[in-house]
Amino acid sequence: MRRSYVSTLISANKDRSNDPEENASKGGFKYDADKAPLYRGAISSFPRAITGVAEVSAFGARKYVWDGWRPVSDGINRYSDALVRHLAAEAKGEILDDDSGYLHAKHTAWNALARLELIMIEMEEDVSK
């Protein structure tokens, strides 16, 4: 029996999908195995934490400007320092940040993400050179 074009294509690319091969004939097949599961891997796993980070982002935008954190000179080190200051405040028994009124843990997470984003941008720029 001759395989259809779709079955052949699916079979050749099965490692790139999370769907069983037999779903191809039903139209229920998606090439997404090599893509980050942004919703399941972040948003739905950590909805409160993501909301908390967004709250800190909005606080920063009111205090400064949206995305004003990106061009900060020596940002990786400065956000690392800020992250550790919030951890140290928690270690001393402080739960809420005096300036924002938010959990220090929210600020810690925000600083970790800002630091990670800058590191990843820097790595992309190094690769493209």
**The one-letter amino acid at 97:** D
The pTM (predicted TM-score) of the whole model is 0.76
Asked if residue 41 belongs to a domain, the reply is: no
State the pLDDT at residue 47. Answer: 97
Asked if residue 55 belongs to a domain, the reply is: yes
110 and 73 fall within a common domain: yes
Distance CA 69, CA 7 (A): 49
3-state DSSP assignment of residue 113 = helix
Distance CA 53, CA 99 (A): 15
Cβ count within 10 A of residue 87: 15
pLDDT digits (tens, 9 = 90+) for 93-124: 999 999 999 999 999 999 999 999 999 999 99
Q: Which residue range(s) make up the domain with 22?
A: 1-35
Distance CA 13, CA 97 (A): 50
- The domain tally of the chain equals 2
User: How many residues can be counted in the chain?
Assistant: 129
Distance CA 8, CA 1 (A): 13
Asked if residue 60 belongs to a domain, the reply is: yes
64 and 117 fall within a common domain: yes
